[in-house]
Chains A and B, each alone.
Chain A
Amino acid sequence: MWEYTDKVKEHFLNPRNVGEIENPDGVAEVGSLACGDALKLTFKLDENKRIKDARFKTFGCASAIASSSALTEIIKGMTVEEALKVTNQDIAQYLGGLPDEKMHCSVLGKQALEKAVENYRGAPAPETGAKIICECFGVTEKEIEKAVRENNLATVEDVTNYTKAGGGCGNCHEAIARIIEKVKAGPKSDVKPKLTNIQKIKLVEETIEREIRPSLKHDGGDIEIIDIIGDRVIVATRGACAVCRASDITLKHFVEQRLRELVAPDITVEEAPK
C-alpha cells in the first residue's frame, strides 16, 4: 500500500473543483487512458485576468486525483503568468509530499497547466514539428530514432525499455519496428560515432555544399566553414545572411539541424566572431 499523506488522502476523498467549465478561457488534456493517467483541466479568468475558477476531470490513481485537486486550488486567484511559475514540486508540496513513484502525477498537473495556458494564449505549442509515435507516453519519432541509433537497439522491447515508447497500448509497435528497420537500413554515414575527424570534416563540407548552400544562395546568402573543432562547426555568414537578423535561427534550426541529421547528432554550429 502506498504511504500517502493525510492531505493526499483528504484531497482524494474530497476532491475540490471536480468538473468542467463551460466556455473556458483555457483548456487542456494530457495523459491517456492507456497509460493509466489522464487529466482534463479547464480555467476561466475574471476581469482582472486572474484565474477565477479552475476545474478538473481526472482518470487515475488516488495521487493523480489529489494532485489535480491541489493544482486547481493553487492556481485560483493567480494570473496565468503566476500560474505558469507553479512547479510540480509545488503541487507535491501542497499535498505534504508524494511517494517517489507517484511524482509523475504532479508532473501531469504541471503539464496540463502549461498546455491550458498555451491554449488560452492561442499559441499551439510549437513541438518543433516532432511526430509523436507513442501516444501513450508522448514519445517522438526523433527520440526513438536517437535511442535506436545510439544504443544499437534491435527490438521493440528494447525501445520500450529505453524510451517507454510502446509500453502502453501497443498500437505503435509496428511503427517502432519500422523506425528500427529504417535506422538499421540507413546510410553508412548514419553510423556517426565511427567517423574519424578527417571524415567528419569532409562530410561537413560535402553536406554544406550539397544540402545547405543551395538553399542559402537561393535567398542571396551563403556561409563559409571557418573551423571544425570536435563537434563544433564554426562558420561565417556571407551575403544576405551576414546582415540578416534571423541568421542565428537559420544557423541553429537549419544548418545545425541538417548537419546533425546527416553528419553527427552532437554537432553544434556557431558563428565566428565578426
Chain B
Amino acid sequence: MKTIYLDNNATTQVTPEVLSAMLPYFGNFYGNPSSMHSFGGQVAQKIRLAREQVAALLGAGPDEIIFTSCGTESDNAAIRSALATQPEKKHIIISRVEHPAIKSLCSYLATQGYRITELPVDKSGLLDLENLDKALTPDTAVVSLMWANNETGVIFPVEEAAAMAQERGVLFHTDAVQATGKIPVNLKNNKINMLSISGHKLHAPKGVGVLYIRRGTKFSPFLIGGHQERERRGGTENVPSIIGLGKACELAAQNMETENEKVRILRDKLENELLKKIPQSRVNGDKINRLPNTTNISFEYVEGEAILLLMNEQGICASSGSACTSGSLQPSHVLRAMGVPFTMAHGSIRFSLSVYNTETEIDFVSEKMAPIIERLRGMSPYWNSEKQACQSQ
C-alpha cells in the first residue's frame, strides 16, 4: 500500500538531496569541527556554510544563528535567557495556543515565581494585539508568540507584536517552527529578538534546531560547556544534521514560491472537496491568515482517533485534535482556546501538505474520506438523532 503523507506539520520527509549532503559526514568525514587539524577543519567549513544557508533563509547574519538539538531546546533557551538576563523581571506573555514547548515551560515557570499572561484568541484562532498592549508591563521580561500555529496553520502578526514589545522595552521571541520554510521570514524587516526553528519540519532530519538571537540582544546560554557556537551552546555539533539543515534551508528558499502556489492550490482543493462531500464539516481557524499547507477540518458526531485509524487503513497519514489521540480528557488546547465546541473538536483532523504531495494523492484522499466519515457516523448514536449536542459556552 502506498503511503500518502499529509502530516507534514508533525514531521517531514528528509529530502533526498538533504540526505545525500549529510551522508559523507556519517562516513569518512567524521572529524570534530573544533579540532586543529584539517581533517576536522574541513568539517568546520561545512558547518560555516550551513550557518550561512540558514541565515540566508531568515534574512539574518550567520553570527546570529545558534544550532541546537530541536525546536523545544531553542524555545527553552530563548525564554530562559530572557529571564536570566533580566532577573528583576518576573512576567511572561504568551498566547493560549502556544506549542507545549512554550506552554508547558511557562506552566513550570509559574511555579517558580513568574507570572504568566496567556493572550486569548478569537473563534478563528486570531490574536487581538490590543490585548498584548494591555498585558505589557514594566515587569514583563519577554513576549513569546508563535509565528504560525501547528494545529490550524493560523498566522499571528508577530512582526507588529515584536514592534509593540520593543517600544515598551520588552524582549520578543517567536516560535517559528511551523512558519519557517513555508512563508517568507525576513528578520531584517522586524524587531524580533529571538526566533526558534526545528529542522525536521522543513525536510531536514530530526534532532537539530536553530535559535536566532538578534545582534545586540543579551544572551545567557542554556547548555553550558565547551566553546562551541561561540560559547552560546556547549556540546559537540551534530555535524551531519546541521549540514542537512543548511541544505534544507537552501532548498526551502528555492521552494517557497511552489509552497505558496502549488501546495496552496492542493490544500484548497482538498479542503473544498471535503467540505462539499461531507455534510456537517467545517474548517477550524482563519482561512486567510493561514499557512499554505495546513487545513484543520472538524467532522461532527465522529471521533478523531477512529477517523485516523480508518484513514490509516488506506495508507493516509494525518493528525487529530481529539482527546483520545492524546490520552487526556480534553481535546486540543488550541481548538478549546478558539471555543470550538467539543462536539466538533473531537472529530477534528489536521491535514498538512508539503511540496512533495501530488494532485493524484489529494484526489485519492478526498475520494476516501467521505465513506470513512459516513461509516463512523452510521455507528454513532448522535448521527441523525434529535438529541442536541452539548454546546461549548
Contacts and interface: CB of A to CB of B under 8 A. Distances in A.
Contact of A136 (B304, B306, B325, B390): B390
B378 interface: yes
Interface string B121-163: 0000000000000000000000000000000000000000000
A13 B304 CA distance: 15
B36 interface: no
Interface residues of B, number: 31
Contacts of B393: 169-171, 173
Contact of B380 (A57, A101, A169, A173): A57
A60 B379 CA distance: 10
Interface stretch (B16-24, B109-117, B326-334): B326-334
B342 interface: yes
A36 B303 contact: yes
A135 interface: yes
Contacts of B304: 61
A171 B303 contact: no
- The B contact surface, by secondary structure, is loop
Contact of A12 (B309, B346, B380, B392): B309
Contacts of B309: 9, 12, 62
Given A15-B379, A58-B381, A65 B306 contact: yes
Contacts of A138: none
Nearest to A20: B381
B322 interface: yes
Interface residues of A, number: 35
Contacts of A33: 301, 342-343, 346, 382, 389-390
Interface string B311-339: 00100000000111101011100000000
Interface string A149-187: 000000000000000100111110100000000000000
Interface in B324-373: 324-325, 327, 329-331, 341-343, 346
A228 to B, nearest CB: 42
A32 B302 CA distance: 12
Contact of B329 (A40, A164, A170): A164
Contacts of A59: 301-303, 379-382
A248 interface: no
Interface in A25-73: 29, 32-40, 57-62, 64-65
Contact of A65 (B329, B379, B382): B379
A36 B323 contact: yes
B390 A38 contact: no
Contacts of B305: 2, 61-62
Given A13-B313, A101-B327, 18 more contacts: A15-B379, A18-B379, A33-B342, A33-B346, A33-B382, A33-B390, A34-B342, A35-B329, A36-B322, A39-B381, A60-B306, A60-B324, A61-B324, A64-B303, A168-B342, A169-B341, A169-B391, A171-B393
Contacts of B327: 101
A2 B312 CA distance: 13
Contacts of B391: 169, 171
A34 B344 CA distance: 9
Contacts of A173: 393
A173 B393 CA distance: 10
B379 A57 contact: yes
Contacts of A62: 305-306, 309
Contact of A167 (B302, B330, B341, B392): B330
A101 B328 CA distance: 8
A169 B306 contact: no
B381 A40 contact: yes
Contacts of A34: 342-343, 389-390
Nearest to A58: B379
Contacts of A18: 378-379
A165 to B, nearest CB: 11
- Nearest 3 A/B pairs, CB to CB: A61-B324, A61-B305, A57-B381
A169 B382 contact: no
Contacts of B389: 33-34
A171 B392 CA distance: 7
Contacts of A35: 323, 329, 342
Nearest to B341: A169
8 contacts: A36-B331, A38-B380, A59-B379, A61-B303, A65-B306, A168-B330, A169-B341, A170-B392
